[in-house]
Structure 1
Amino acid sequence: MASIINNTTSSSRFADVETTVITKRPYESAEEEGEEELVKDISGDVIDHGLRRGLKGRHFVLIALGSIIGPGTFYGLGYALYLSGPLGLLIGFGLIAIAVWILMQCVGEVTAMFPVHGGFIEHANRFVDPALSFALSWLYYIMWSIYLPADWNAAVLILEFWVPDSKMPSWAWYLIFWAFFSVITTLGVRVYGELEYIFGMFKFCSLIVLFFISILANVGAFGGGYVGFRYWTPPDGPIINGINGFGQVFILAATYYVGTEVISLAAGESKNPQRDVPASMSSITYRILVVYMGMAFFQGLICPSSADGLIHADSAVASSPFTIGFELAGWKTAGHFVNAIIIIAFLSAGNGVVYVQSRTLFTMALTGKAPAIFKTTSKRGVPYVAILFSNLWGFLALMNLSVDAGTVFTYFNSVSGTAAYFTWIIIMLTFLRVRSGLNAQGIDPNTLPYRAKGSIWIYRLTLAFFVFLLLIQGFTSFTDGFHYKIFVSSYITIPTFIILFFGYKFYHGTRWLRAHEIPLADRNVYDAALDLGKPKGWKKIGDLLKN
C-alpha cells in the first residue's frame, strides 16, 4: 500500500484517541475533496475513514467458516426436506455449493487485490458502473435487513419450546433482542471479531457433535431401532413433490449460503487483508462440505420428510430436523439440547447480520449513496448510527402477530433468496469486468495476491446459471392457478433493482466503464478513485439530519 510519510502526532478529528499519522490518500467519497489522514491508534490499529482495522487472521477464518450460521440453518433446512425429500435436499444444496465455491474464487481475487470498505459493493462502483453499485448496495442492505427479522422470528419459534407465548409474548422477546444486539454491536470491531471467533468455534464443534449423535441415532443407540436409509424410501423419499419441490430448494440454498461473501466487507477492517483474505478462501471449502452438506445429509438421514414438526408455510411452531430425528430414535429430551445450540447460534448470527448491515450502510453513506449521518463513527471506530438504525429492522418480525410464523418464514426466505442471487450475479459480473480490464491493460493475473482457480469459462457459465435461477425461482406462483403473494415475494427484487439502477444512472449520468478505463494499473485502489460527480439529494438530506 502507500508508504509511511511521517510519525507525528495527529491533531485531526481523532484527537480524543492517541494516534500516529501513517499515510494520506484521496477520500473515497466523491463529494469530498482533498486528502484524509490515515492514523494509528494507541493499540496499533489503523483508523481508516473512521473504522478501525482490528480484525486478525484467525477472526477471518472463523468469519468465513460460519459466522452467519444462525437458527434458521438448524431448522430451516427442514423446509427443504419437507419440500423435496432427503435426496432432493442434498442435490439442491450440493449444486448451489459448487456454484458458491466458484463465486468465492471471484470474491477472493478482487478483494485481496482491492481490500476497501464496502468490499464488492465498492468494487462494482469503481470498476463497472456507480449505478450498479448503488442498486446493489441498497438491495444487499435490504436483503440483510430482512434476514434480521427472520432470525428474530426463528429464535422466538425456538424459545417458545421453553416459554410459551402466553407467558412471554413475541414482541417482548424482540425488545430484548434489540437491546442486546444494540449493546454488543457498538463495542467495536475487536469485540465483534472475538465474539465471532468464540461463537464460530462453538458452532462448528456443535455441528460435529450433532453429526456424531446422528450416527448414533441412525444405528439405534437410543433404543429406537436401526434406521439406515429408511426415510430415503417411499413414502418419505428420496425425492418428493417433483420439480416443484426441487426448484424451491434452490431458493432456500441461496438463503443459507449467503454470508460467505462477507469476507469482502470484513476486509475493510482487517489488519492484513492481502494475507487474510487468500488464507480464508480455503476455509470456504470446509464450510460448504462440513456445515451445509453435512447438515443436509444427516438431517435427511434421521428425519422423515413427512414429520409434523418440520417448518412450512402453515407452521405456528417448528422443530429442528435434528430434534425430530433424535426423538424418533428414542432420545425424548433432545429438544433441550438442540434448541440450546440453536439459541447460541442465534446470538452469533444476530451479531453478524447487524455487522453486515451497518458496514454496508456506512459505506453507502461514505460514498454519497445514503444520508451522511450514517457515516458517523465513535472514537472506538464504530459506526453506531448505522448500527442502531439497522437493528430496528428486526421489528419486522412483528408480522407474525397477524400471520403464522411459518408464512413469515417463507416470505422472508423468498425475498432474501432472490436478492442473494442478484448479489452473486453482480459480484461475478464485477470479477469478469476486472479480468477484462487486466487483459486490456496487459496485467498478468498470476501477479495478483490471489488468483481465482480454473478457466474463465467456469465463471461465465456460473454467472449464466445464477441468472437462470433468478428468473425461474418464482415458478411455483403459476402452479395450480396464480398465487400473487408468492409471485410478489419471489420477483419484487427485479423491479426494485431496475428502479434503483436506472434512477441513479439517469440522475447522475453515470456510464459503464470500458475495459481499458478500469483503474487497475498500479493495483492500488486508494489511488484509483473515480470521479462520480457530486451526489445531490442524499447529501442534502444527510446534512439536514446531521444538523
Structure 2
Amino acid sequence: MNPNNPSKEDSNAKVSYESAGNLEAGTVTEGSRFQRFKDSFKPADLSHIPNYENLTDLEKAAIATANSPLQRSLKTRHLKMIAIGGSIGTGLFIGSGKALANGGPASLLIAFFLIGVMLYCTIQALGELTVRFPVSGAFSTFCTRFIDPAWGFAIGWNYGLQWLIVFPLELVAASMTIQYWNKDINAAAWVAIFWATIMVINLFGVKGYGEAEFIFSLIKVVAVIGFIILGIVINCGGAPQGGYIGGTYWHTPGAFNHGFKGLCSVFVTGAFSFTGTELVGLAAAETSNPRKTMPAAIKQVFWRITLFYLVSLAIVGLIVPYNDPQLFGASSVDIAASPFVIAVKNAGIKVLPSIMNAVVLIAVLSVGNSAVYGCSRTISALSAQGHAPKFLSYIDRQGRPIFGIMLSGLVGLLCFVAASDKESEVFAWLLALTGLSSIFTWGSICFCHIRFRAAMKVQGRSENELAFKSQPGLFGSYFGVIFNILVLAAQFWTGLFPLGAPKADVTSFFQAYLAAPIVLVCFVFYKIWKKTKFISLEDMDLDTGRREVDNEALVAEIAEEKAYIQSKNFFYRTYRFWC
C-alpha cells in the first residue's frame, strides 16, 4: 500500500482514526442498570471499518489495528503517572539486592545508568511512532508494518507470553510479601483474593486500569522519594543505630564484586527492573489526543530513570555493603532480601520495615494489574493482525478486549501453585520463558524507528510532519539496538557460566536464555508458514492509523507551537524540553 500512489481500493479502505470517533458511541444508554451492564459485553460498533476484501493481509492488519474499538479514556495524568512509576516493582525494591550482591555498588550504578540511557532512547523512539500511529498493539504492530509480519508475530507473542506468565508470578510474590506479617494463613487464600481484585479492576476497562495505576504509582513514587531522604539521613549518621557512613562501603568491602562478570550479571537484573516502561506506548491507542498527551508522558521517563532508579540505588550502595549476609540466600520475592528494608533494619528503625513491605505489596499488585492490561491489549492486536485466533480480537461496547482479559485470568490461576511444594521449581521455568522478553521488545522498537525514518527519506516525506520527534533521534535508536544485542551476549555468558560456578551449567543457561530460542522458533515458523517478506522501504505504509491526516495543517500547528516556546525565557524552554 503506497500512500503516494493509492489505488481505488486503498482510498476506500483507508480510514482515519478521526472517522472512528470516540467509539463509546456504541455503548447502550437506555434500559435498566442491569440491562446496560449486560449490553456492555456485546460487540463494539465496527460499522466504521470498511470492507477490505481486495486488500493484502498486511493492509488488512494495518487498517484493523488503526481502527480498533478500544475506548480513548486515558487522560494525561494517567499516562504521566504510568510513565513515572508504572514499572517500579520487585525489580527495583528486591531484585536490586541480588544485583548489589553480585556486582557491588559501582556495578549497580553503571549497569542501571547504561540500561536507563538505552531505555530513554527506546521510549523516545516509541513516542515518535505512537504519536504518529496510535494504533492498538503498538510495537508488535510496528514490527509487522515496518520490519516483517513474521517478526511482528514473534515479538507480539513474545510480549503477550511475558505478561501471561508475569501475572501469576506477581500474585505469588504478593502472597509471599504479605506473609511478612502473618505466615499462618495459607498462601492460596491470599492469591485468590489478589487474583479477584485485579480481574475486577480490569473489568472496569481502561478507566479502571488507569485509575488503579495512578494510585499505585503515586504511592510508589512517594515511597521512593521518602526513602531517598531517609537514606541521606542514615548515611549522615542521623539514624538510631550506626554513625556517619559516607563512602565507607565503597572502600570496604569495595565498589566492585566479581569484576567484569559481576557487572554483566547486573545488566540482566537492570533490564528486568525496567520491564513495563514500554506500556506507556501500548496505552497510546486509548488516549483521546496522543499528540498532546504522549510527549509529556514520554519525557517523564528521564525523571524516573534519574530520580527513582539512579538516585535511590546510589543511596542503597552507600548504606548497604554488598557483602551484607541479609542479601544472600533469600527468595527473589522475599522482602528480607530488599536492600531498602535492610538499610532501614540496620539503622535500627522499628516501624519502617513494615511500611516498606506494604509499598512492595502495592508495587507487586501494580505489576500484576499491568500484566493483565498489557497481555489483553497485545493479544487482541495480534488477533486483529491475523496472528492469533480470531475470537481473541473481540472488543465489547466498553472497549474491553474481554477474551484477552479472560485468557490472562485463566493463566493467572497458575498462582495456586503457591500452595504446592514444587512452587519454586515450576516458577523458575515459567520465568525462563520471559527472561529476555523485554530485551527483544526494546531492540525491536529501536529498529522499527530506524526503518520508519529510512522509509520517510526514501518516499520523500519531510520530518517536519512528525508531531513529536525522538530527542536522541536515530543515534539513540542505533545505540538501543546495539546495546540490547550486547545485553543478550552478556546474558548468554552469565547464563552458561553463572557467578561462582566452576563450569558450564546447562540448567542455569536454559532458565536464563529460554526466551531467545522461543522467539526465533516463532519467527522461522511464521516465515515458512506464511512465506512473508521483509517490508521494503518504498512500499512501507506511512499513513494508515494517523489521527492527523492533513499534513499542511499539522506542520503549521507544530511550527506555531515551537515559535511560542522559543519566545519564552530560558527556564520555560528548559522545562518544556524535559517535561
Q: What are the within-5 Å matches in structure 2 for residues 389-468 of structure 1?
A: 389-397=407-415, 401-402=420-421, 405=424, 415-454=433-472, 456-468=474-486
Other-structure match for 2:48: 24
State yes or no: 1:88 paired with 2:107.
Answer: yes
For 1:196, give the aligned amino acid.
E
Contact 2:103 2:258 in 1 (8 A): yes
Other-structure match for 1:99: 118
Deviations 1:144-183 (A, max 9, x none): 223223322332332121111xx22323322222212111
For 1:325, give the aligned amino acid.
A
Segment drifting more, 395-404 vs 497-506:
395-404
Structure 2-normalised TM-score? 0.81
Report the Cα distance in structure 1 between the residues aligned to 2:417 and 2:324, rounded to whole angstroms. 26
CA apart distance, 1:384: 2.3
Report the Cα distance in structure 1 between the residues aligned to 2:141 and 2:45, rounded to whole angstroms. 25
Task: Provide the secondary structure at the position in 2 that maps to 1:474.
Answer: helix
For 1:221, give the aligned amino acid.
G
Deviations 1:282-336 (A, max 9, x none): 1010111111112311222222222233265767944221111111112133321
Report the Cα distance in structure 2 between the residues aligned to 1:52 and 1:314, rounded to whole angstroms. 40
Other-structure match for 2:505: 483
Other-structure match for 2:521: 499
Report the Cα distance in structure 2 between the residues aligned to 1:354 and 1:120, rounded to whole angstroms. 17
Other-structure match for 2:541: 519
Q: What are the within-5 Å matches in structure 2 for residues 118-517 of structure 1?
A: 118-164=137-183, 167-224=184-241, 225-235=243-253, 237-310=254-327, 317-319=334-336, 320-397=338-415, 401-402=420-421, 405=424, 415-454=433-472, 456-476=474-494, 477-478=496-497, 480-517=502-539
Report the Cα distance in structure 2 between the residues aligned to 1:482 and 1:359, rounded to whole angstroms. 39
Deviations 1:117-167 (A, max 9, x none): 001111111222111100000111122223223322332332121111xx2
Report the Cα distance in structure 1 between the residues aligned to 2:333 and 2:214, rounded to whole angstroms. 34
Contact 2:231 2:319 in 1 (8 A): yes
Task: Provide the secondary structure at the position in 1 that maps to 2:48.
Answer: strand
CA apart distance, 1:10: 7.5
Report the Cα distance in structure 2 between the residues aligned to 1:169 and 1:231, rounded to whole angstroms. 40
For 2:238, give the aligned amino acid.
A
Deviations 1:183-227 (A, max 9, x none): 111111112111212222221112111111112222222221222
Length, aligned pairs only:
515
Report the Cα distance in structure 2 between the residues aligned to 1:304 and 1:19, rounded to whole angstroms. 57
Query: Structure 1 485/371 Cα, relative in aligned 2: closer, same or farther at 3 Å?
Result: same
CA apart distance, 1:37: 12
For 2:82, give the aligned amino acid.
I
For 2:381, give the aligned amino acid.
T
Deviations 1:344-392 (A, max 9, x none): 2222222112111111111112222112222223332212221122133
Other-structure match for 2:36: none
For 2:205, give the aligned amino acid.
G
For 1:450, give the aligned amino acid.
F
Query: Structure 1 171/95 Cα, relative in aligned 2: closer, same or farther at 3 Å?
Result: same
Query: Structure 1 30/516 Cα, relative in aligned 2: closer, same or farther at 3 Å?
Result: closer
Contact 1:61 1:279 in 2 (8 A): yes
Percent identity (aligned): 32
Structure 1 stretches of 5 or more lacking a match? 39-46, 528-547
For 1:372, give the aligned amino acid.
K
Contact 1:141 1:357 in 2 (8 A): yes
Report the Cα distance in structure 2 between the residues aligned to 1:412 and 1:218, rounded to whole angstroms. 39
Report the Cα distance in structure 2 between the residues aligned to 1:487 and 1:9, rounded to whole angstroms. 48
Contact 1:117 1:268 in 2 (8 A): yes
Other-structure match for 2:571: none
Query: Structure 1 289/32 Cα, relative in aligned 2: closer, same or farther at 3 Å?
Result: closer
Higher helix share: 2
Other-structure match for 2:89: 70
Task: Provide the secondary structure at the position in 2 that maps to 1:222.
Answer: coil
CA apart distance, 1:509: 1.8
Structure 1-normalised TM-score? 0.85
Contact 2:94 2:333 in 1 (8 A): no
Contact 2:140 2:152 in 1 (8 A): yes
Task: Provide the secondary structure at the position in 1 that maps to 2:177.
Answer: helix
Report the Cα distance in structure 1 between the residues aligned to 2:207 and 2:326, rounded to whole angstroms. 39
Query: Structure 1 336/24 Cα, relative in aligned 2: closer, same or farther at 3 Å?
Result: same
Query: Structure 1 384/437 Cα, relative in aligned 2: closer, same or farther at 3 Å?
Result: same
Contact 2:26 2:45 in 1 (8 A): no
Contact 2:63 2:545 in 1 (8 A): no
Other-structure match for 2:11: none
Report the Cα distance in structure 2 between the residues aligned to 1:412 and 1:229, rounded to whole angstroms. 40
Deviations 1:417-439 (A, max 9, x none): 41211111111111111111001
For 1:515, give the aligned amino acid.
L
Query: Structure 1 386/404 Cα, relative in aligned 2: closer, same or farther at 3 Å?
Result: closer
Report the Cα distance in structure 2 between the residues aligned to 1:340 and 1:73, rounded to whole angstroms. 15
Query: Structure 1 9/110 Cα, relative in aligned 2: closer, same or farther at 3 Å?
Result: closer
Other-structure match for 1:41: none
For 1:249, give the aligned amino acid.
V
Segment drifting more, 50-59 vs 23-32:
23-32
Report the Cα distance in structure 2 between the residues aligned to 1:117 and 1:485, rounded to whole angstroms. 37
Report the Cα distance in structure 2 between the residues aligned to 1:90 and 1:299, rounded to whole angstroms. 10
Report the Cα distance in structure 2 between the residues aligned to 1:11 and 1:251, rounded to whole angstroms. 45
Segment drifting more, 381-390 vs 244-253:
381-390
